Structure 1
Amino acid sequence: MASSSSVVDMVCARQGRDRQRYEGCYRLVSGCIPYMLKDDDVDNSCCLKDDHVLDKLQVLMISTPKRMDLIFPKGGWEDDESVEEAACREAFEEAGVKGIINGAPLGEWIFKSKSKQSSCGQEGSCKGFMFALQVTELLESWPEQITHGRRWVPVREVDGLCRYDWMREALDKLKEQLVFGSNFSAPPSLELPDSSSLCMVVSPAVPQGAVALC
């Protein structure tokens, strides 16, 4: 069930880059692909090695200002937290979910920040780490709700919504991790809101060729 946010939950999202981690010229970024099973009639004791479970797997994507496409929650990894803690914080701040990080990172990717797409060399480069996040709590309010709407998407439909290769690669790793990972069981089912009640931010169209990654 979706839950109401407490006063403790509704802390302000972190701002600025005073505590931002860097590795050489790379700004370090951490994010996740939040997931859950849609139907409550699924036997949660079953293993995700059963391919049919993927038919019930839902992935959470978020909207961003001035963009029509959807992305996965992510942001800067700061020096007072682990990379897993950073991924969980971004999921809470941007998507209003809490959960459990499953296993090792889905992978590492190098990309340019949106403000440095036209720059030469490595200026504005980011190194991103993505994780699978098993959602255990769906909040009704979250710190960045005004700028980030959210939408649950069947996992088999997500590939067509991925704007960037790194998103598709991370998604493939998520499915591989869940289906073939020996230490994973099916996540608990939560009651998902109807699509008509999902909070989405309507943004103006982006100029053709515009790219924003972090």
Structure 2
Amino acid sequence: MASETKALVARKGRLRQRYDNEYRLVAGCVPYRVTTDGQPEVLMVSTPNRDDLVFPKGGWEDDEDVYEAACREALEEAGVRGTINRTTLGLWVFRSKSSQDSDSPRGACKGYIFALEVAEELDHWPEQDTHGRQWVSPADAYRLCRYEWMREALSALLDRLPVICHCQTPEKVKPTAPNLNERAGMYMMMKAAATADRAVALC
């Protein structure tokens, strides 16, 4: 296992990046687990020079499907593997930091976000020098999320978990939203077609 984890290398560059017209396609997930007392926790990652946390996500490449891309990002950024629920939590359109003031699709991303039930945490992972990881409660996650679309993805996850019936709902734990630049992390949510079956893939 030690030699296997040492061999893991994060993908770099955008030579294989998928696009939908001018939108860069992104895949990510909300990694979660349920504690022994039935409470959900989610795994978030830190990024350099920021105090807030994010969920793992990154470019969807042309030699993988969207589920593989989401699992790969969780492995590269957070060092976790698990079972991905193939019913998306949602599809969001948002802008990169460098294109906040543009109305063109160029520089914008379409992001597919999934739930990932964590089964394994690696001691070493490809991007651990730039991405720390932290298990947090849903209430703390709401406070720490950088953008509103992340809170919406978290809400969609919590709505699905049967254990949430005896936990606080997102509306009860969600703090008052801070004053944000309206264009910073601006997105629109596009309802993805839900499927009745819970198809999963181990990754």
Structure-1-length-normalised TM-score: 0.73
Measured in 2, the distance between the counterparts of 1:179 and 1:160 equals 23
Provide the residue aligned with 2:168 in structure 1.
Answer: none
Measured in 2, the distance between the counterparts of 1:155 and 1:12 equals 30
Q: Which is bigger in relative contact order (C-alpha 8 A, separation at least 6)?
A: 1
Provide the residue aligned with 2:81 in structure 1.
Answer: 98
Following superposition, the deviation at residue 114 of structure 1 comes to: 2.0
Following superposition, the deviation at residue 211 of structure 1 comes to: 4.7
Q: Deviations over 1:22-54 (max 9, x none)?
A: 001110000000011233xx5xxxxxxxxxx3x
Q: Note the 1:167-182 alignment, pairs <5 A.
A: 167-179=150-162
Provide the residue aligned with 1:160 in structure 2.
Answer: 143
* Most deviating of 8-17 and 84-93: 8-17
Provide the residue aligned with 1:34 in structure 2.
Answer: 31
In structure 1, what residue type is equivalent to 2:47?
T
In structure 2, what residue type is equivalent to 1:23?
D
Provide the residue aligned with 1:87 in structure 2.
Answer: 70
Q: Note the 1:38-49 alignment, pairs <5 A.
A: 38-39=35-36, 42=37
Identity of matched residues, %: 55
Following superposition, the deviation at residue 59 of structure 1 comes to: 0.3
Which of 132, 149, 155 is residue 149 of structure 1 equivalent to?
132
Provide the residue aligned with 2:4 in structure 1.
Answer: 8
Provide the residue aligned with 1:63 in structure 2.
Answer: 46
Following superposition, the deviation at residue 173 of structure 1 comes to: 0.5
Measured in 1, the distance between the counterparts of 2:97 and 2:133 equals 21
Is 1:128 the counterpart of 2:111 in the alignment? yes
In structure 2, what residue type is equivalent to 1:72?
F
Measured in 2, the distance between the counterparts of 1:98 and 1:211 equals 31
In structure 1, what residue type is equivalent to 2:34?
L
Provide the residue aligned with 1:107 in structure 2.
Answer: 90
In structure 1, what residue type is equivalent to 2:161?
L
Structure-2-length-normalised TM-score: 0.77
Q: Give the direction of change, closer, same or farther, for the CA distance of 1:167–1:137 in structure 2 (3 Å limit).
A: same
5+ residue gaps, structure 1: 43-52, 181-207
Is 1:25 the counterpart of 2:8 in the alignment? no
* Most deviating of 24-33 and 7-16: 7-16
Following superposition, the deviation at residue 120 of structure 1 comes to: 3.6
5+ residue gaps, structure 2: 164-179, 187-203
Following superposition, the deviation at residue 212 of structure 1 comes to: 6.5
Measured in 2, the distance between the counterparts of 1:91 and 1:151 equals 13
Alignment check: 8 A CA contact 2:94 2:185 kept? no
Measured in 2, the distance between the counterparts of 1:6 and 1:80 equals 27
* Most deviating of 144-153 and 113-122: 113-122
Following superposition, the deviation at residue 123 of structure 1 comes to: 2.1
